[in-house]
Amino acid sequence: MKKLFEKDIVEESIMIGSTIKWILLSIFVGLTVGFAIGIFVKFVEAGEVIVQNGIKYYYILLPIIFFICSLIVLKLAPDAEGHGTEKAIESIHKRAGKMDVKAMPVKLFTTFLTIIFGGSVGEEGPATQIGAGIASFFSKFLNMNDIDRKRFVICGISAGFVGVFGSPVGAAVFAAEVLYIGRFSYLSLLPALISSYVSYFVGRFLGTKPLLIYLVDFKRSNPAMMFIKMVAFGIFIGILANIFIIIVNLIEEAFKKINIYKPIKGIIGGLILIAIVLMSGSTDCIGMGEGIINKAVTGGSVGRFAFIGKMLTSSVTLASGGNGGILTPMAYIGATAGSTWASLIHGHASFYAAMGMVCFLATCSNTPLAGIIMSMELFGAEVGTYSAIVCVISYLIVGHKSIYPTQVLKISKTPSICMKEDCEVGTGGRFKINKSRKNILGKVIETGKLEFTDSGYE
């Protein structure tokens, strides 16, 4: 009995000491990242006002801007390429959280240029990469081992995410969930949560956007009918997420196959965006699109095919040399697609736009728990309850795809499909159907052209 008591004392002492240590470290990360991202957001807001309100046809400069951004990244910091979050994920999986500090100022400057001149990206991807980079930088001075450095970098991701998106608990859960498919980093949850809240309040102190809570008032059907509607909407969001990920990958591959000097591809991408603006007669599909998101979520009328246009402009921007995040475009796509869905079924536009915004984002990134919590934080508990059904169903429907190719698959989403596990989803593709469940799938597969092998089928 005495030994058990001594063991409990030792265990509690260690746990208390570790908790205090990580509370202090998390506060430090939240403060430093919060100030860095807060200042960045203010600069972007000022730049948008100056450029987009001061220059009538500002978007015609996109080819030059994409060329400049691509050239800067190519010459100074190749790690600054892309939409940001996947680089932070990659650093945790491949380099134990170590990141190139040179990428941070390059990422900030090129994202700033891309956004203010109408590139179809957001601030949150670079914010998470910058947050992770700041945490990685200070981990050297704190002499952290690999395990602690990874936790520290996850704190940075959380602090960076909330600095733009404004959902403290959702940001922490996102940071702990986005690393893997099928595994949650409980070890990182407390420090991610604290750094997220500290960063959020630092942003509020600097005057950045507050946590916007839209109280969505909608007409409820009977429970059975609401469940059926949520299942249908979840399938729609899952299929749409699948299509978006495919479009992003196809356009990225198409630009990679163009055998010319890389920055010149930025000129091509900029010209494509100009053509889309001219054909649509609107600039709604370029830029961050926060005004369109707010309009959709508050029940306003948006273009029926706005989500398709945003899929194309975001994919082209990132593939051709523009720099920025992809989460805000995903929020735009989800909100406008939800609004379109509501018009097709004569549903409540605000309700479906709100759910679509968060559920589409969570589906593309394979973070259903974060999606559920963000829905509750942003739109209230009742909307979050319905969003839970949509998030989980769409998470399954999207399959083993991700907008972040460096995400690691820990376990298949269904026992009916055997996937290669403990590998990046971007390197996957081959899988096989579980032989014990093969007959359940029916004779369509048996008589089709798919060939089964021991290593799987394509």
- Report d(CA 285, CA 272) in Å as an integer: 12
CATH 1.10.3080.10 assigned to domain 223-397? The reply is yes
Q: Digits of tens for pLDDT over the chain (458 positions)?
A: 667 777 778 888 888 888 999 999 999 999 999 999 889 988 888 998 898 888 888 999 999 999 999 999 888 887 777 667 777 888 888 887 788 777 888 888 999 999 999 888 988 878 888 888 899 889 888 888 888 898 999 999 999 888 777 789 999 999 999 988 888 888 889 999 999 999 999 988 888 765 555 667 666 667 888 899 999 999 999 999 999 999 999 999 999 999 998 899 999 999 999 999 998 888 888 888 888 998 888 888 888 888 999 999 999 999 998 888 888 899 999 999 999 999 998 888 889 999 999 999 999 999 999 999 999 888 888 888 899 999 999 999 998 888 988 888 888 777 777 777 777 776 555 566 766 555 544 444 444 444 434 333 33
User: What CATH homologous superfamily does 2-206 map to?
Assistant: Clc chloride channel (1.10.3080.10)
Kindly state the DSSP code that residue 423 receives in the 8-state scheme: E
Q: In 149-295, which ranges are E strands?
A: 180-181
Phi and psi, residue 284, nearest 5° = -60, -30
Residue 23: CB atoms within 10 A of its CB come to 14
8 A C-beta contact, residue 87 and residue 73: no
Give me the pLDDT at residue 457, please. 34
CA 57, 262, 329, 153: dihedral to nearest 10 degrees?
A: -130
Kindly state the DSSP code that residue 453 receives in the 8-state scheme: B
8 A C-beta contact, residue 91 and residue 136: yes
Domain spans in the chain, listed from the N-terminal domain onward: 2-206, 223-397, 428-458
- Report d(CA 117, CA 403) in Å as an integer: 24
- Report d(CA 229, CA 122) in Å as an integer: 31
Nearest Cα residue to 283 out of 30, 106, 43, 57? 57
Q: Which amino acid is at 287?
A: G
- Report d(CA 278, CA 272) in Å as an integer: 10
DSSP string, 90-130: HHHHHHTT---TTHHHHHHHHHHHHHHTT-S-BSHHHHHHH
Is the alpha carbon torsion for 180, 391, 398, 435 positive or negative? positive
Give me the pLDDT at residue 431, please. 62
- Report d(CA 108, CA 35) in Å as an integer: 14
* Tokens representing residue 414 in the block: 């269904």
Q: How many helices (H) and strands (E) does the chain have?
A: 17, 5
Do 2-206 and 223-397 have matching folds?
yes
Give me the pLDDT at residue 143, please. 86
Q: Is 359 exposed, middle or buried (0-12, 13-18, 19+ CB in 10 A)?
A: buried
Residue 163: CB atoms within 10 A of its CB come to 33
Give the residue carrying structure tokens 């359940």: 440
Max alpha carbon distance in the chain (Å)? 80
pTM: 0.88
Kindly state the DSSP code that residue 260 receives in the 8-state scheme: S
Give kind and range of the element (H or E) at residue 424.
strand 423-424
Give me the pLDDT at residue 223, please. 81
- Report d(CA 433, CA 450) in Å as an integer: 11
Give me the pLDDT at residue 247, please. 94
**CA contacts within 13 A on the Cβ side of 104:** 20
CA distances, 313 to each of 224, 278, 280, 354, 378 (Å): 39, 13, 12, 22, 26
